[in-house]
Structure 1
């Protein structure tokens, strides 16, 4: 039996059932998200033809449609929406506690040298006496990926930014591509969000993403 304390890591693989994302939004003081809620995507130079960018924009458009936004041609757009994303591979030091397998059939039989016929995790003479094997603590380095999404809303008539939201996910075995659907959904799980107040958003893991 073993327990691992993965501090700061949200898994996007294995037996994990949820994905947790850190989200922070900022907005202009007098912005009210008034209609018309129409928008067009604004892309940086060189990203117009990138298939990855186009795919992420489709996912973002679906999220915005659920909030009552309509994608239109740029001349008719009230907002210009842009997105930035990146990932950073890093190593996280993890502390792991393991316990001996009390039923392991070792040289002294299935109970070990002090257990005899009695199955008591504290040994025959009390806790800490012969028959108790303390847990072992080990430290290991785990490769993780920090995936970040930033979405910006700009007033098309003034060119002034009115809203922005950042979503970050750090996970073992994760990738930017795997995390992106959850980053987008988390970024707009509450819209518009309170300005400058970080929050955690936990979403159920799609069964198709479980390994």
Structure 2
């Protein structure tokens, strides 16, 4: 029993040590990306509302950084780029979720050492590490967890400037308890460009751990 308890403590400690919020996104990409694209210059195509939004500008910088990482270059105002980039985002209202899950607990009602008669002699005060009969068998209880879940969505596309033909479009959908779009958007943008251009028409899951 002593070794069983020790193993449980080690396991719980390991889990707590590795805890961290993971942004899990469902990513679906469609593309007709050319094998060779010598000129990767682009500009952002914005709606009037986006052009006046400080929030949009903040997310635009995230997309700009990812495009730069992939070798794209934002074209100066006086030049004609090859591509145009656009994106849109939204977050749904919270929906209530209720989960019931099993938890293994110790059956002993005594959390501290207490006088206990066991065997032929009075042992006095002692703890669970000194007696194998201190704890009863593990008991499975059911706990209830209630929380709110948000659905965050991001759409990004790259199109050819000359004829407006779309070459790349991706949709990122992420469910989570964090209702702050600003907090999760960096990870959704990274997920959108993961393995660029990625498999076409194949849904996949991208998981990124949030930085503390």
Short-chain TM bin: 0.7 to 0.9
Distance 2:90 2:19 in 1: 26
| Contact 2:106/2:139 (<8 A) preserved | no
1:46 counterpart SS class: helix
The alpha-carbon deviation at position 141 of structure 1 amounts to: 3.0
Distance 1:94 1:53 in 2: 35
| Contact 1:147/1:175 (<8 A) preserved | no
Q: State the partner residue of 2:45.
A: 42
Distance 1:109 1:22 in 2: 54
- 2:96 is aligned with 1:82: no
The alpha-carbon deviation at position 203 of structure 1 amounts to: 2.1
State the TM-score, normalizing by the size of structure 1: 0.74
The alpha-carbon deviation at position 149 of structure 1 amounts to: 0.9
State the TM-score, normalizing by the size of structure 2: 0.73
Aligned in 2, Cα 1:164/1:57: closer, same or farther, shift over 3 Å?
same
The alpha-carbon deviation at position 104 of structure 1 amounts to: 4.7
The alpha-carbon deviation at position 120 of structure 1 amounts to: 7.5
The alpha-carbon deviation at position 33 of structure 1 amounts to: 5.7
Aligned in 2, Cα 1:153/1:137: closer, same or farther, shift over 3 Å?
same
Computing the radius of gyration from Cα coordinates, the structure with the larger value is 2
Q: What's the RMSD between the two structures over aligned residues?
A: 3.0
Structure 2: gaps of 5 or more residues = 1-7, 9-17, 117-127
Distance 2:39 2:134 in 1: 70
| Contact 2:153/2:173 (<8 A) preserved | yes
Q: Where is the helix percentage greater, Structure 1 or Structure 2?
A: 2
| Contact 1:145/1:175 (<8 A) preserved | no
Count of matched residue positions in the alignment of Structure 1 and Structure 2: 182
Q: State the partner residue of 2:72.
A: 69
| Contact 2:107/2:139 (<8 A) preserved | no
- 2:180 is aligned with 1:170: no
| Contact 1:86/1:148 (<8 A) preserved | yes
2:187 counterpart SS class: helix
Distance 2:108 2:75 in 1: 66
The alpha-carbon deviation at position 189 of structure 1 amounts to: 1.7
Stretch of structure 1 that moved more, 145-154 or 30-39: 30-39
1:136 aligned residue (122, 130, 141): 141
